[in-house]
Structure 1
C-alpha cells in the first residue's frame, strides 16, 4: 500500500506503510494548489520511482478524489505507468460534492476523461449520491462515508482473488472482465430474508446501488461473487447468475463464483462488477470538452 501526495505535511499524518512525495521540485511539498496540471507534472517527476515500485505488479488499484489538483492530475499518470508496466489497472475515483463548487466539478470531469484513457477500468463514486443516502451528515462525516465506500469496493475485489471458494474466482477471471473495460459499476447487496427471497433481495440491492444510477441492460460483462453462511446452497449462487443473465444482454460475458463465510449465518451477500454500463453521472467520453477550471498554468520551478 502506497500513499502519494504533493502535500508533505498531509503525508506525515497518514499511516500507510509506504509514502511517495510527488513533485518535490514542482511544488516543494506545498500541494498542487487545486491545479490539475500541477498534479500531473508532479506525478511525472517521480515516474522512474513509480516504475520501480510497479515492476512485476499483476494488479494495481489507483484510488483518488477528483476535483482538486493532485488526484485529478496525478492519478492518470500513475494509472498509465501501471498499465504500461503490464498490471491490470483499476481506478476507483470519487467525484466532488455540488457544494464544493463548479470549478472542482469541471476539474473532476477533465480528470475523469484522462483517467478513463489511462486505466483498464474506472469505478466512479459520485459523492453527491451520498447526500441522498445520508442527507443529514456533516460534510466531514460524508467524506468519511465516501472513503468507506471506496475501501469496501477495493476490499471486495481483492477478496474475490485471494479467498478460496466453493466455485473459485481468481485473478484471470477478474482480468477477463476488467481488462480494457472502461467504465464499470460495482454494487453490493446483503440479505437475511427467509428462503429464496434472500438471494433475490441481495441481487436487487447490488443492482440498484444508491451511489450510482446505471443501466445494466447493455453491459458487456458481469462478474458475480456470492458469499453466504454454511447454510448457503450452490443453487442460490446459480440463481444469482441466472437472475443477472436475465437482466443483461444475451451476449454479455458472465463469470460467477461462490464462497462460504461461517460468520455470515443465515445471510447472503452479492457483489457485482458490471462493465460497459451507462450512467447519468458517467456519460462516456466527449468528443471535445474544454473546462474553464482547467487551463495552462505556470509551474513553480
Structure 2
C-alpha cells in the first residue's frame, strides 16, 4: 500500500512538472489565475485611459496684447493643469518675454512687429491678417479662454477676432477682460466700450472686471499694485474655471457641467472671498458675494459657477455651506454648478470664487448696457403711457 501511494504521488508530481514544461509557467494554478485577472484589469484600465485621453476637454488660454501677456506670465508662475497657453501680440519684444506654450506675432506686414500704437483698429487688422495662424493654433480647442485688458490697441482689437474664430470652431468661448481705471483717461475708456460691443456677440460668456472697483477694495494702494491685483484676479478666474474640469478634487466636474452654465452665460461678474476663521465657509462666501467686483443684483442671474478651495482640513460640509449660501440668493430656475478641491499649501485658509452669469449691471458698457437702457425706457413709457422721441 505504501508503495502504491508513493507511486501515485510521484505520478502527480510528474504530471505537474509536465504541465510546467508544456505551458512554460512555474506558478501554481492559483497564481496563474491571479496573474490572468491582473492582466485583464490592466487591459481594462489601459482602455479607460485611452478613452479619457481622447475625450479629455482641450482647454486653451489665449492672452491678447500686453495685459494678456501679464496674465500668461503669472499663469506660468503659479501653474495651470492641462491647459495650453497661447500669446498673441503685435509687439515682437513683448512677445519675446511672454511665457506661453505657443506665440503668434500678428500683423507682421502691417506693424512690422512694433505694436499697435494703442489703436484698436490696428489690432483688429493685424488679427485679420493673421487669421489662418490663429485658426490653426486654436482649432482643436473644446474651450477657449480669451484674456486681455480692454482700452489699448492689440487686446481690444484682436480679442473679438480670436473669439469669432473660436466660436466658428464650435469651442466654448469665454472672455475674461478688465476695463480701464477712470484715471487712465477717456481715450482708453472709449476704446474699451467699443471693444466690449464687438467682443460680446462673439463669446458664450463675457466676464468683466471693472478696475475702478478694485479701488473700493483697497483705496490706498499704489497704481502698480492696483494693476497687479487686476492681473491676479484674471489669473485666479482662468485657473479656477479651468481646473474645475482638469484637476481631480473632492467634487469633480466635467466639461459638460461647465458648458451647462457658460454656453449661454452672457455677461458675467466675478466675486472672490477667503477666510481662515472658525466660521471660514460663511465668512468666505459672504466676502465673495459682497465683493465690489460683484456689484450686481444676482437674483435675476441665469446661472452660477462656484469653486471652493481649501487645505487638507476642507470638508464637504463646508463646501455645501458655501453653495447653499449662493443658491439662496438666486432664482430657483438658475443653473448652479460647483466644485471643490484641496490645495495643501492653503492650510486653514478657505477660498471661494463665484461667477454669476446672465447678469445686468450698471458697470457694464456696450450692448448689454444699451439693452438695459432700452428696457428701462420701455418700462417708463408703459408706466406713464407716453412715447419718448
Normalising by structure 2, what TM-score? 0.69
Q: Given the alignment, which residue of 320, 325, 328 partners 1:243? A: 325
1:117 aligns with 2:201: yes
1:80: Cα distance to partner? Answer: 0.9
- Secondary structure, in 3 states, of the residue corresponding to 1:125? strand
Is the contact between residue 113 and residue 285 of structure 1 (CA under 8 Å) also seen in structure 2?
no
Q: 2:114 aligned to 30, 35, 39, which one?
A: 30
Q: Structure 1 residues 41 and 175, CA, compared in 2 at 3 Å: closer, same or farther?
A: same
Q: Which runs of 4+ in 1 moved over 6 A?
A: none
Residue 19 (structure 1) aligned with residue 111 (structure 2): no
- Residue 225 and residue 143 in structure 1: after superposition, are their counterparts in 2 closer, same or farther (change >3 A)? closer
Secondary structure (helix, strand or coil) at the match of 2:174 reads strand
- 1:81 alignment counterpart: 165
Q: Secondary structure at the match of 1:214?
A: coil
Distance 2:328 2:232 in 1: 31
Per-residue deviation, 1:285: 4.6
Residues in 2 aligned to 1:143 and 1:261: alpha-carbon distance in whole angstroms = 26
**What is the aligned counterpart of 1:232 among 307, 314, 317?**
314
Length, aligned pairs only: 287
Identify the match of residue 211 of structure 1 among 269, 293, 296. Answer: 293
CA contact (8 A) 2:240 2:307 kept: no
SS at match of 1:153: helix
Tell me what 1:189 maps to.
273
Matches within 5 A, 1:1-301: 1-194=85-278, 197-282=279-364, 284-286=368-370
Closer, same or farther: CA 241–141 of 1 in aligned 2, 3 Å: closer
CA RMSD in angstroms, aligned pairs only:
2.0
Q: Deviations over 1:261-284 (max 9, x none)?
A: 333333322221210122221161
Which one has a larger percent helix, Structure 1 or Structure 2? 2
Structure 1 contact 8–30 (Cα < 8 Å) conserved? yes
- The answer for the alignment partner of 1:292 in structure 2 is none
> What runs of 5+ residues in structure 2 fail to find an aligned partner?
1-84, 374-389
**Following the alignment from structure 2 to structure 1, what is the Cα–Cα distance between the partners of residues 243 and 182?**
33
Q: What is the TM-score of this pair, normalised by structure 1?
A: 0.89
Unaligned runs of 5+ in 1: 290-301
Cα-to-partner distance string for 1:141-160 (whole Å, 9 max, x where unaligned): 32222112111111111221
Distance 1:209-1:139 versus aligned 2 partners, 3 A rule: same
Contact 1:212 1:279 survives alignment (8 Å):
no
Q: Using CA pairs below 8 Å that are at least 6 residues apart, which structure has the higher relative contact order?
A: 1
1:86-133 CA-to-partner distances (Å, cap 9, x unmatched) read: 211111111111111112101101101111111111111111122233
The alignment partner of 1:168 has SS state of coil
* Closer, same or farther: CA 99–13 of 1 in aligned 2, 3 Å: same
Cα separation, partners in 2 of 1:133 and 1:285, compared to 1, 3 Å:
closer
Distance, in Å, in 1 between the alignment partners of 2:342 and 2:184 is 42
